[in-house]
Amino acid sequence: MDAYGRHQKLWPLLQRTIGSWVIRKLNIRRETLEIDGPILLISNHVSAWDPLIVACCLPKKQIYFVASEHIFRLGLLTRLLNWLVAPIPRRKASLGTDTVKSCLRHLRDGHSVCLFAEGEQSWDGMNVPVFPATGKLVKSCGATLVTFRIEGGYLSLPRWGKGVRRGLVQVYPVGIYPPEQLKTMSGEEINALINRDIAENAWQRQRQQPIAFRGRRRAEGLETALYLCPRCRHISSLHSRGDRVFCDCGFSLRYTEIGFFEPKEPFESIAEWERWQRSALPEQLSKTDGLLFSDAPAVLSRIDAGHRDELVGSGELQQYKDRLCCAGREFPLAAIRYMAMVQANLLLIGCEDGYYQIRAKGRMNLRKYLEVWKEK
């Protein structure tokens, strides 16, 4: 039996076991999809569990998921995943050309593919636009496009958090578009259609119909998403414990079961805080000419073409206006071609001389390093 035949036979077993557990664990309400022929499924991306959530809606449709290449560096777990479902690797800090080729090969061979075209999980419960090249891929692949939306996933499994906040997760297909229709559309029109269908605003829905997402340590990890205090304007002075996020200066907010802050000032939601800190960061950076900020400890590795990582060293991670330093290695910002994050603790860097990973040891905000590079 070839690998594809094995994956088809294993799919019903995975649905009855892992799929049933995920539905109970997250309290998922779903609409299942039954459709003939290969499909390219595109969903919003709100949590690390999204492939499992989407798969629950496809009980009879085996599908291949595009996944961050970091899962191909997990030893025995990687071998098991490859044997069971063979995910398609995607290097975050790269152009992703090989990933596009793999997707097209699967689809043209009659297999189905799921792509989270925003490129990363949401930090604040809001969407970002899909990659500009998505529409071109959809138009050229010759498969039916199916759009999905996951609601409640961000509040249940926030990227910055640990564990599950049990509430309600709803997932369902939004649109089904045959290849004949897609051929009449431009890539930009297809992108606009996808962005419309997968649009998610966790806060608007919670204001309209609040749902409690219960957990004992609801706010813990928020300082990996939020890096700028609204009172003292210091970077990396935030901490979290239990249901509170607070700063060394005494500023404190409570993160409630419905996902809003108490008190509501200066921010009612994480999305409002996120918008403010992005707009305020350039001014804060302009006040310093030397070392902007630093964290320790961090581990630097170089990743080869076979997804193997070679340790470079560990030590303090330092950000200057013109360079990023870690473990004795300097990365001039102008020489960094791509930079991205995986989950909350991995920073990926694509340079001319290779592909690198910086891993945070302990709770550390790596987002601010990415934001500084974007400002370069």
Q: Does a cis peptide bond (omega within 30 degrees of 0) precede residue 263?
A: yes
Asked if residue 240 has pLDDT above 70, the reply is yes
Choose between 71 and 272: higher pLDDT. 272
d(Cα 49, Cα 160) in Å, to the nearest integer?
Answer: 13
Whether this model's pTM surpasses 0.75: yes
Q: Which CATH superfamily is domain 3-208 in?
A: Glycerol-3-phosphate (1)-acyltransferase (3.40.1130.10)
Q: What are phi and psi of 35, to 5 degrees?
A: -150, 140
Asked if residue 32 has pLDDT above 90, the reply is yes
Work out the average pLDDT over 65-88: 91
Confidence of residue 71 (pLDDT cuts 50, 70, 90): confident
Beta strand extents in the chain (DSSP E only): 28-30, 39-43, 64-68, 88-90, 113-115, 144-151, 169-177, 238-241, 244-247, 252-255, 261-262, 291-303, 309-320, 323-326, 329-332, 336-342, 346-351, 354-360
Q: Which of 254, 180, 181 is nearest to 217 (CA)?
A: 254
User: Which fold is adopted by the domain 291-375?
Assistant: PH-domain like (2.30.29)
Interval 305-331: pLDDT, tens: 888 889 999 999 999 999 999 999 999
Enumerate the domain spans of the chain. Answer: 3-208, 222-286, 291-375
**Predicted local distance difference test score (pLDDT) of residue 302:** 95
Do the first three CATH levels of 3-208 and 291-375 match, i.e. the same topology?
Answer: no
**Predicted local distance difference test score (pLDDT) of residue 93:** 60
**Predicted local distance difference test score (pLDDT) of residue 97:** 84
What's CA 184's distance to the chain center, in Å? 31
